[in-house]
A and B are shown apart, each in its own frame.
Chain A
Amino acid sequence: MSSSETMSVEEQLAAGQTEDGIVRAADGTPLKARLAKALRREKLRSFLMISPLLLFIVLSFLMPIGDMLLRSVENKIVQNTLPTVVQELERWDPASEELPDEATFAALATDLKIAVKERIHTRLGSRLNYEQSGFSGLFRSTGRAVRKMEEGPYKEQFIKADEDWGKLQTWVVLDSFKAPYTAGYFLNAVDAENTVDGVQMKAENERIYIQLFIRTMWMSLAITFMCLLLGYPVAYLLAHLPARTSNMLMILVLLPFWTSLLVRTSAWKVLLQGQGVINDLLVWVGFVDDADRLVLINNQTGTIIAMTHILLPFMILPLYSVMKTISPTYVRAAKSMGANDWTSFWKVYFPQSVPGIGAGAILVFILAIGYYITPALVGGTSGIFISNRIAFHISTSLNWGLAAALGAILLVLVLLLFYVYDKIVGIDNVKLG
């Protein structure tokens, strides 16, 4: 509550003091109750005004994200498809290094017959194939065989249908993924896996995600830094040139901003490629040899150049709007007291532009971290981001659990960085104008 309101309450207190010490309004109700009622109405009105937006955000943003995050641990498919097998496996100890008993195989036959009828056995096969190659085929072939299986004993029949049922590893995988929730996707997302001997890092030639996370982070930071380096002087000019020139400059900033992302990325391809405009020019001038053209694309250089260009307006615009509000009198005052150009800029002007830097940097960094179209087109193999793998698992491999786990880790990393930023710079110190 603001101080002026407190004052007025106090004034009323002084004016309307009654014998029992309770302040009352003209109709005799206690003033406190009247005030609370008015405030409540106010709150309700504000709430009603934002409720459509709130509802929209909850329905179209929070719930899908929540659902997606849930997928990163959800694993009910094993229990739903093979309920009795899961029960039987409770009695089985993988460390015994023996195959499960006949009862488990009988349970497998019962469960699979139902699953085949409902056509859900292959779905479980694709799910477990993410954990170990071959499960997809195992369930497909067993699904065909199980229809023709005779009444018990089942163990030999299953092993005859597919020899993988006779392998310990098959059952270890099934056993370790029988729980309705699993850490498997998250382990996978940090290049680890659950083995008989506990959690272990994957083989050297299968590790990929940690490296991609680190690359995404440092490249996004590099892009943010490049944007700042290039954007700061432009924003300064925009804010301080006479209106006519600065409007012209502003159009030059906004024009690429309005151009399609794909068009800009393709344009960079034409410019940067081996036989591209930049290399042709350098060869013509004689800076580089024709046989030894610069490799500017399909690597990290390409990604950083193209993404810096694409994200530059997101740095320039917040910087500009903050710089516009910095009064020129401070710099003049500093100069009149003997500061040189550099000191007056660094000690007086720059600190006042920091909120703009904060806003621009956060905007660019967060956008960069989730980019995948541009890295996919100009990044080659060394310039792709973690989001490219997330997109791959969503649309191609259909391993949504892993995609969700990777997304969740990315989200946590961003929040972590946000926290660090808040501690160092302070989140209040961010302004968009």
Chain B
Amino acid sequence: MKHKSLLLAAAASTALFSTTAIAQNEDLAAAPCEGCAEEMTIVSWGGAYQESQLKAYVEPYVAATGVKVSFDESSAEATAKLRAMNEAGNVTWDVVDVVASDAIRLCDEGLAAELDPATDLANAPDGTSAEDDFGNLRVNECFVPQIVYSTTIGYRTDKVGDTPPTEICDIFDTTKFPGKRALQKRPIDNLEWATYCNGTAKDKIYEVLSTEEGVQAAFDKLSTIKDDVVWWTAGAETPQLLADGEVVMGSTFNGRLFSAIVEQDQPIDMMWDMQSFDLDGWILPAGLDEARMKRAKHFLKFATDTQRLADQAKYISYGPARKSSAPLVGKHEALGIDMAPHMPTDPANAGNVHNYDYTWWADNRDDLDAKFQSWLAQ
């Protein structure tokens, strides 16, 4: 508590910098940062997602501290690049945005720094500790989640007849929904969906997939639609394939579908059944010198506080990773529509959710990926 009041005092004394933030929350950006570097490089994904980060907390942070921030749009290759930098002994990144599975790999490889939620992260405004506020979304000691996104199914409203698909197993039903479907070219999600549609209970999916027979059964299920699948690797492909009429349905990230449906007004709709929750968040590279590490942590604490994560949802339809942020989610900045119903975490959408098991996949990914590629090539 002493910690918090200190911060409040700091915030009050520098209220000039950011008046709106103070009204709602303690202003961590204005908290003093002694011996911190004056520059930092943030690594992110580019595009609409990076834009949402820029608007929600990077710009406010720069305004409050005057730190020089540059972006590197390298998140897609972050694991490989970080390892190369680490081996060369010259890490040029300070804060890196990665998905949870990459964070596990980076932490296991010793390439990401371990963080202590008690000191490195901000508590919720009601005093809930950061550890409880993020809950099990903090998949390991290195990872600070920002958003929950989901891989879910979009379909062409004009090509599915009068009865649009309502459940995940409809992707395996080629008689009811003839035509191509787009699926991501990786075993994750696809094997789980196949297992689920083989009649396995949701909480038994990974148990079944841990057996040879279970894996075979999942591939057999996928084989029933193999000739009807267009495999995608970039999130932008499915919305494009849907818009071109190349596929009748396909999996992609919910934010991509949101922009195709709401922002571009395409004849597309989405179903949330068995949407696969995934996380995106920050890690700090291991081995930063003291000044840069201090600056990175100072930024991180601000950027992942309750208000900042809620602000991000104004620009993109991904759910904030903090429980305390959810009630603060407002309207879309440009369109003025309520964002809450478009969040994967909204109760109306989260009726039947698939929780992707990171640690299980960390163990089995190499093996199943080889099997998946071999199956694809057959």
Binding site for B on A (CB under 8 A): 119-120, 122-123, 125-126, 129-130, 132-137, 140, 205-208, 211-212, 273-276, 298, 376, 380-382, 389, 394-400
From B244, B245, B365, B374, give the contact of A207 (CB < 8 A): B374
From A140, A212, A273, A298, give the contact of B108 (CB < 8 A): A140
Binding site for A on B (CB under 8 A): 76-77, 79-80, 83, 105, 107-110, 114, 180, 185, 216, 219, 230-231, 233, 244-246, 359, 362-371, 373-377
- For A132, list chain B residues within 8 Å (CB): 367
A-B contact pairs, 25 of them (CB 8 A): A119-B110, A122-B110, A126-B105, A126-B109, A129-B362, A129-B363, A133-B366, A135-B363, A136-B108, A136-B362, A136-B363, A137-B362, A140-B108, A140-B359, A205-B216, A205-B374, A206-B367, A211-B377, A376-B233, A380-B230, A381-B376, A394-B80, A395-B79, A396-B79, A398-B83
From A137, A208, A398, give the contact of B363 (CB < 8 A): A137
- For A397, list chain B residues within 8 Å (CB): 365-366, 369
- Give the residue name and chain of the B residue nearest to A379 (CB): B231
Determine if A298 and B230 form an interchain contact, defined as CB atoms under 8 angstroms apart: yes
Q: How far is the CA of A125 from the CA of B109 in the complex (A)?
A: 9
From A119, A134, A382, A398, give the contact of B79 (CB < 8 A): A398
- For A206, list chain B residues within 8 Å (CB): 367, 370-371, 374
Determine if B371 and A123 form an interchain contact, defined as CB atoms under 8 angstroms apart: no
Determine if A126 and B367 form an interchain contact, defined as CB atoms under 8 angstroms apart: no
- Give the shortest distance, in Å, between B191 (CB) and chain A (any CB): 13
Beyond the given A205-B216, A208-B370, A275-B244, could you list 8 further A-B residue pairs with CB under 8 A, ordered by the A residue number? A120-B110, A122-B107, A123-B108, A205-B374, A273-B244, A274-B180, A376-B233, A400-B83
From B108, B246, B377, give the contact of A126 (CB < 8 A): B108
Q: How far is the CA of A394 from the CA of B79 in the complex (A)?
A: 9
Determine if B377 and A381 form an interchain contact, defined as CB atoms under 8 angstroms apart: yes
- For A208, list chain B residues within 8 Å (CB): 370, 373-374, 377
Q: How far is the CA of A380 from the CA of B368 in the complex (A)?
A: 19
**Also in contact, A130 and B366, with CB within 8 A (given A205-B375, A395-B77):** yes
From B246, B366, B373, give the contact of A274 (CB < 8 A): B246
Q: How far is the CA of A389 from the CA of B370 in the complex (A)?
A: 10
Q: Which of B83, B114, B363 has the most CB of A within 10 A?
A: B363
Q: How far is the CA of A382 from the CA of B230 in the complex (A)?
A: 12
- For B376, list chain A residues within 8 Å (CB): 381
Determine if A395 and B80 form an interchain contact, defined as CB atoms under 8 angstroms apart: yes
Q: How far is the CA of A207 from the CA of B372 in the complex (A)?
A: 10
Q: Which of A125, A136, A273 has the most CB of B within 10 A?
A: A136
A-B contact count (CB 8 A): 88
Q: How far is the CA of A273 from the CA of B231 in the complex (A)?
A: 14
Q: How far is the CA of A376 from the CA of B365 in the complex (A)?
A: 21
- Give the shortest distance, in Å, between B362 (CB) and chain A (any CB): 5
When A and B form their complex, which 3 residue pairs have the shortest distance between CB atoms, in order from nearest? A122-B108, A133-B367, A137-B363
- For A135, list chain B residues within 8 Å (CB): 363
Determine if A399 and B366 form an interchain contact, defined as CB atoms under 8 angstroms apart: yes
- Give the shortest distance, in Å, between B85 (CB) and chain A (any CB): 13
- For A123, list chain B residues within 8 Å (CB): 108-110
Q: How far is the CA of A376 from the CA of B367 in the complex (A)?
A: 22
Q: How far is the CA of A400 from the CA of B86 in the complex (A)?
A: 14
Q: How far is the CA of A71 from the CA of B263 in the complex (A)?
A: 48
- For A273, list chain B residues within 8 Å (CB): 244, 246
- Give the residue name and chain of the A residue nearest to B245 (CB): A275
- Give the residue name and chain of the A residue nearest to B77 (CB): A395
**Also in contact, A129 and B110, with CB within 8 A (given A206-B371, A273-B246, A398-B105):** no
Q: How far is the CA of A135 from the CA of B366 in the complex (A)?
A: 11
- Give the residue name and chain of the A residue nearest to B365 (CB): A397
- For A380, list chain B residues within 8 Å (CB): 230-231
- For B114, list chain A residues within 8 Å (CB): 119
From B363, B366, B377, give the contact of A382 (CB < 8 A): B377
Q: How far is the CA of A274 from the CA of B359 in the complex (A)?
A: 39
- For A274, list chain B residues within 8 Å (CB): 180, 246
- For B108, list chain A residues within 8 Å (CB): 122-123, 125-126, 136, 140
- Give the residue name and chain of the A residue nearest to B370 (CB): A206
Q: How far is the CA of A54 from the CA of B198 in the complex (A)?
A: 61
From A133, A205, A389, A400, give the contact of B364 (CB < 8 A): A133
- For B110, list chain A residues within 8 Å (CB): 119-120, 122-123
- For A119, list chain B residues within 8 Å (CB): 110, 114
- Give the residue name and chain of the B residue nearest to A125 (CB): B108
- Give the shortest distance, in Å, between A394 (CB) and chain B (any CB): 6
- Give the residue name and chain of the A residue nearest to B233 (CB): A376
**Also in contact, A275 and B105, with CB within 8 A (given A123-B110, A133-B367, A137-B362):** no
- For B369, list chain A residues within 8 Å (CB): 397
- Give the residue name and chain of the B residue nearest to A132 (CB): B367
- Give the shortest distance, in Å, between B180 (CB) and chain A (any CB): 7
Q: How far is the CA of A206 from the CA of B212 in the complex (A)?
A: 12
- For B366, list chain A residues within 8 Å (CB): 129-130, 133, 397, 399
- For A134, list chain B residues within 8 Å (CB): 363-364
Q: How far is the CA of A134 from the CA of B108 in the complex (A)?
A: 14
Q: How far is the CA of A125 from the CA of B362 in the complex (A)?
A: 10
- For A381, list chain B residues within 8 Å (CB): 185, 231, 376-377
Determine if A212 and B377 form an interchain contact, defined as CB atoms under 8 angstroms apart: yes
Q: Which of B80, B83, B359, B376 has the most CB of A within 10 A?
A: B80
